Structure 1
């Protein structure tokens, strides 16, 4: 009997550990937890200090300017306007954020991942080629051409991308199920790390000449 109880306790603990490891933004335990930078008269919740609920105002839940196009005059031809907890303090503990993505003609949002969120994207203007790649060993590519009004989902943690294949500017809006989803742009992380990753290692990993790796590192 004791062995049976011990086994059930072990299973329960393993299930609890598994659920904690899989969790990301936790459910809030109060109506609002407006994020503030200073700890005075505040409570620390989920990485932010919470404003006294009696002092919150409508502006804590407001963001203005998502209608303004982002500047796409850069090396990738796109711009991401992020509306997360840093832009709207009232998003704190609510587990959601939003981005506007502007693309110049043939601009791209390069391969990247969001370590803490699934993304759902809808095209407002233009035509995008989008896709994501599943994990090893399959590495399956799921890709689709999206037009105005089309929607596509990028699962949490998977490498994905968007490419404006049209002759005009394109605009998309995306929702993410985290107040701070994070972003890891693959090329920037690999070739632009600080300090740099050893080029001999990268040359072997990517099956490239070392000089090509050093060139890429200099670019990033």
Structure 2
């Protein structure tokens, strides 16, 4: 009986620790990322605090319009720990997304972050898909000043549904949220995922998969 109780408590502790998992909380005022540091950790080692400058906490560029002349008609300007070293250990980042008319930010996931989006200009359709087995699409058209949240890890997208350019600012709950663009990952993997496997998964002919893979 005692052993069963200990096992139950142990399982509860593991469950709680998983539920609370996120970017590590800082144990000091700041830990500016030292990208050239010799130490490899889950994140970045800290720069010597005596050498930290205001520039380590500063980024300039979100006022600039992103170049949307590409196949999807959008451009993401990220501000993660890679661009702003002072974000290290703080568990946040952000980005600007520019959209050409009817441009899209294709279906993708952030494996380490929840995303919150604010429309700055234009009309943007947003949506995410719930996990199996429901795979329910939850979507809405947003206007200037509207806010929408995408839960961590779920496939989501944005699309400009207006006739002019659109702009959104997003916040993310990780210093390095990561991006997995679904089409790129599935059809652009190197080496290729076997085309017969993808044909069976998508219930199409192999030549259809070959055609799609050729675009990536």
1:44 deviates by: 6.1
Structure 2: how far apart are the matches of 1:47 and 1:136?
31
Of 17, 23, 26, the match for 1:25: 23
**1:147-169 CA distances to partner (integer Å, 9 max, x unpaired)?**
00000010001110001011100
Find the aligned partners of 2:91 and 2:126 in 1 and give their Cα distance. 25
> What are the within-5 Å matches in structure 2 for residues 1-220 of structure 1?
3-4=1-2, 6-22=3-19, 23-39=21-37, 46-220=42-216
Q: Distance in 2 between matches of 1:20 and 1:52?
A: 31
What CA deviation, in whole Å up to 9, does each residue of 1:111-167 have, x standing for no partner? 001111110000000001110010011111111000000000100011100010111
Q: CA RMSD, aligned part only?
A: 1.4
Q: Secondary structure, in 3 states, of the residue corresponding to 2:108? A: strand
Structure 2: which 5+ runs fail to align? none
| 2:27 alignment partner, SS class | coil
Number of corresponding residues: 215
Q: Structure 1: how far apart are the matches of 2:125 and 2:15?
A: 36
